[in-house]
Amino acid sequence: MDFDDSPDEAAYRARVRELLERHASELVRLRPGQEAVDPRTSEAELRRTQRVLADAGLVGVAWPAEFGGQGGTLMQQAIVSQELARAGVPALINHIGIGMCGPTVIAHGSQDQRERYLTRLLRADDVWCQLFSEPASGSDLAALRTTAVRDGDDWVVNGQKVWTTLAHVADLGILLTRTDPDRPKHAGLTMFVVDMHAPGVTVRPLRQMGGQSDFNEVFFDDVRIPDSERLGEPGEGWRVALTTLMNERVAIGGAGGTIGLPVEAFVQHARERLPGLDPERQVLARQAVGRAVVAALGARYSGYRRLTALSQGGLPGPEASAGKLAGTEAARLVADAGVRLLGDDAVYAATGEGDDRWQRTQSWIPGIAIAGGTDQVLRNIIGERVLGLPPEPRSDKTVPFSGGRR
Amino acid sequence: MNFDLDDDQRDIAAGARDFFRGSASPAAARAGLEGGRPEPGRAALSDIGFLGITVPESAGGAGRTLLDLAVVAEQGGAVLAAPSLVTPARAAVLLAGEPELAAGLADGSTSFAVLDGSPDGSAPSVDAADATTFLALDGEDLVVGAGEVVPGRPLDATRGLASVRLTSRRVLATGAGELWARARQVGAVVMAAEDLGGADRCVQLGVAYAQEREAFGRRIGSYQAVKHLLVDAWVGVEQLRSLVWWAAWAADANPGELPLAAAAAKACAAAVYEQAAGTLVQVHGGIGFTWEHDAHLFWRRAKVDRLLLGDEAEHLDAVARLAVAGALGT
Ligand SMILES: Cc1cc2nc3c(=O)[nH]c(=O)nc-3n(C[C@H](O)[C@H](O)[C@H](O)COP(=O)(O)OP(=O)(O)OC[C@H]3O[C@@H](n4cnc5c(N)ncnc54)[C@H](O)[C@@H]3O)c2cc1C
């Protein structure tokens, strides 16, 4: 057991640092106190940043070289992520493409699709989105209603997707559709790659509870998709989607930590704010800070354990769901303590000086407990797949979708 | 980076599991509440070498790391073994400069306990009830001596708690405050490891029952209200395991991190074990509330351990202070 870089890892880290320094002027950087850069306002800079990083070999580090990756290890990927965070580079604009869509294309795409898409994905020449959820099917994804009907060499798609992160900047998406309503709901699905600029695709922004607009609703009106854009066989869409969902949980929670909230920044905030509180409140605030730090450390070190297991050849399993659950809880505690440390300003949307970082963070937490599998759905997965508890009775698994609940 | 046990440690764990399963049990913990002897007892622990795991080889111990000891302690915790490995771990730190005393610790010829609080009337201290030789902090002096032992009526008989007033004392070291603090941190890590074993066992027992017990025509584990209780307890156990391993590793490999890691592990252990033991009782319904069922023995251990060697609030405060002072790095 050790937490130091091996000689190889240390050499790799040094090279990554050197590359980041060499390209520093070409990369978007977060200002102090800023945790994200909005693709709505900075799309071009964010695309350029990812392209520069990709050309330097710092994107898709653990992807096989034949798919445009570096053929490196997961440990190297983790090192790059750490160094990007350290250098203040914001999340890559194509994080959904890299984390979910790309691995799905690698696993289920044709050779032609892999060649056409993967290198462009890594360079953010194409930004990708994930078109799964619909107004009537989120957790119960297999109940989705968007249809694709075969017409010659094409499929014709009609329906609506919702909560689609990045659809407003995306060029491509992976789209889960129903192609056979007469089969049971999991059996009648098919996955496609869809061109977001195709005629009949309409993207409308949705506004989140915190006021920002990171996700959208997407309408499909007689959108034609060539059969060559199918991912996997007709009727195999559920199996393809499971690849995406598993990668999603690994991408969100698998690495451990507090899901994008750096605990060091929180501790720095506590360092600045604690002395200003009156002594009795300090005692209480330290309890909240301590609890948040313990949760964050638990999530971090559990992430190290998963990373170790994966780098020794383990496969990402349902345990990643535990990482997302624990990371969400840690993020909630960090955000809550962060706001409370503001004292009277905690009841406003920003401090008197206009700093709204902790309030924004607070209003973002409910979303992470929903996105990529709600807390409840993840508990079901862990209960059934890790602990081996019996599933709930399900009345809808075997009946034809069309004769089921519609 | 490599955050996993090595093969050697896995072997140690397997051996310890066999030993403890054969020599201790919740049934023995129950009997202890009615006057029975703690199992496996000091003699058996010294015979198998568990009292000297971290004692240097030159003093008759195994000279191994705290992580090795924590791996063993987890297995003891799973069956509510007594006495605790907290005392040998803590005493081994305090006796680093006293090879003869350390030899007595390792070979079991001296029954040590480490006292918390004042030597003139200590706080309830682990395994003091049947000890004969006590280590205590007297001002800034580390002292050893005999004492008058006053046990209370046990809530958890496996912890051997008693208050002690020293009746003799010999100074082993002056200016020993830091050494004492480190020994207490090491003790906290080992207790967290025992709690990890107990909490993990609670989840296993709860899951097993939820897989077979039926209500309203279904197995109760299929109800989310039951399932999610067990999942939350399991997630807690996994976080605790990570913190315990990290803290135990830090004790030898990166001592500067030990204060933060030990406090985090102990705070986490207090909450996780209580949650897991409470869940175990709840999932069992009425049978879980009976004297004959094992659930309350884990519950008792959890209720007691959460307050020993600093409660959750004390350790959360320490984590906050240490983090703000820079213990996480920047
Ligand atoms: C910030 C954000 C970004 C997102 N980005 C994307 C995206 O890019 N692409 C995409 O396709 N989707 C995206 N989503 C959608 C997300 O996947 C769904 O919101 C989520 O799966 C929940 O589905 P739902 O909203 O329909 O809620 P529902 O499934 O209707 O759930 C409502 C409530 O019921 C509970 N519930 C449902 N089923 C069960 C069950 N079996 N057991 C217990 N409780 C249950 C849920 O936990 C929840 O509390 C995003 C969501 C958010 C918040």
**CATH classification at residue B266:** 1.20.140.10
- pLDDT tens for each residue of B190-217: 999 999 999 999 999 999 999 999 999 9
pLDDT for the residue numbered B184: 98
**Whether the predicted pLDDT of B108 surpasses 90:** yes
pLDDT above 90: percentage of residues in chain A: 84
**A314 falls in which pLDDT band (50, 70, 90)?**
confident
- pLDDT tens for each residue of B24-54: 999 999 999 999 999 999 999 999 999 999 9
Q: Which chain A residues touch B235 with a CB distance below 8 Å?
A: 322, 325-326, 382
Q: If we measure between CA atoms, which residue out of A338, A279, A293, A336 comes closest to residue B323?
A: A293
Contact: B242, A298; criterion CB under 8 Å: yes
What's the gap in Å between B25 CA and the centre of ligand 1?
44
Q: How many domains, chain B?
A: 1
Q: Is A138 in the pocket of ligand 1 (CB under 6 A)?
A: yes
Q: Is A163 in the pocket of ligand 1 (CB under 6 A)?
A: yes
- pLDDT tens for each residue of A132-165: 999 999 999 999 999 999 999 999 999 999 999 9
The helix/strand/coil state of A228 is: helix
- What's the token pair of residue B116? 């918390």
Cβ proximity of B48 and B106 under 8 Å: no
**Whether the predicted pLDDT of A253 surpasses 80:** no
Mutate to test the pocket of ligand 1, among A129, A141, A163, A247 (most ligand atoms within 8 A of CB): A163
Give the active site residues of A.
248
Q: Tell me whether the CATH fold assigned to A128-237 matches the one assigned to A254-386.
A: no
* B42, part of any domain: no
What's the gap in Å between A60 CA and the centre of ligand 1?
28
pLDDT for the residue numbered A252: 72
**Whether the predicted pLDDT of A31 surpasses 70:** yes
Q: Which chain B residues touch A299 with a CB distance below 8 Å?
A: 239
Count the alpha carbons within 13 Å of A213 in the hemisphere toward its beta carbon.
Answer: 12
* B109, part of any domain: no
CATH of domain A128-237: 2.40.110.10
* B130, part of any domain: no
pLDDT for the residue numbered A356: 92
- What's the token pair of residue A67? 């798919």
Per 3-state DSSP, chain A is made up of helix, strand and coil in percentages (nearest 5) of: 50, 15, 35
* B267, part of any domain: yes
What's the gap in Å between A375 CA and the centre of ligand 1?
9
The helix/strand/coil state of B129 is: coil
Q: Which residues make Cβ contacts (< 8 Å) with residue B256, sequence separation at least 6?
A: none
The residue ranking higher by pLDDT, A267 or A402, is A267
Which B residues, 127 through 146, put their C-beta within 8 Å of a C-beta on chain A?
A: none
* B76, part of any domain: no
Which of B2, B207, B324 has the CB atom closest to A274's CB atom? B324
Q: Which chain B residues touch A267 with a CB distance below 8 Å?
A: 323-324, 328
B188 touches chain A (CB under 8 A): no
**Quick one: average pLDDT of A285-301?**
96
A265 touches chain B (CB under 8 A): no
What are the Cα distances from residue A94, in Å, to A85, A88, B215? 16, 17, 48
A279 touches chain B (CB under 8 A): no
B269 touches chain A (CB under 8 A): no
* B25, part of any domain: no
Cis peptide before A184 (omega within 30 of 0): no
A1 touches chain B (CB under 8 A): yes
Please calculate the CA angle A242-A230-A195 and round it to the nearest 5 degrees: 100
B320: containing domain: 180-324
Q: By CA distance, what is A284's nearest residue in B?
A: B317
The helix/strand/coil state of A109 is: coil
- pLDDT tens for each residue of A51-78: 999 999 999 999 999 999 999 998 999 9
B225 touches chain A (CB under 8 A): no
With b for 16 or more beta-carbon neighbours within 10 A and e for fewer, the A382-393 pattern comes to bbbebbebbeee
- pLDDT tens for each residue of A196-211: 999 999 999 999 999 9
**A406 falls in which pLDDT band (50, 70, 90)?**
very low
Contact: A1, B6; criterion CB under 8 Å: yes
Dist CA A92 CA A232 (whole Å):
27
Q: Where are the beta strands (DSSP E) in B209-255?
A: 214-215, 218-219
User: Is the ipTM, as predicted for this complex, more than 0.90?
Assistant: yes
Dist CA A73 CA A77 (whole Å):
6
What's the gap in Å between A262 CA and the centre of ligand 1?
25
* B150, part of any domain: no
pLDDT above 70: percentage of residues in chain A: 97
Q: By CA distance, what is A271's nearest residue in B?
A: B324
**Whether the predicted pLDDT of B305 surpasses 70:** yes
- What's the token pair of residue A384? 């059934």
Chains A and B: how many Cβ contacts under 8 Å? 159
**Whether the predicted pLDDT of B231 surpasses 70:** yes
**A329 falls in which pLDDT band (50, 70, 90)?**
very high
Dist CA B235 CA B226 (whole Å):
15
CATH of domain A254-386: 1.20.140.10
pLDDT for the residue numbered B330: 54
- Strand A172-178 relative to strand A128-131, pairing: parallel
Which A residues, 52 through 91, put their C-beta within 8 Å of a C-beta on chain B?
A: 75
Contact: A271, B324; criterion CB under 8 Å: yes
Q: Among all chains, which residue has been given the structure tokens 């030159």?
A: B58
A184 touches chain B (CB under 8 A): no
Lowest-confidence segment of A49-53, A290-294, A393-397 by average pLDDT: A393-397
**A310 falls in which pLDDT band (50, 70, 90)?**
confident
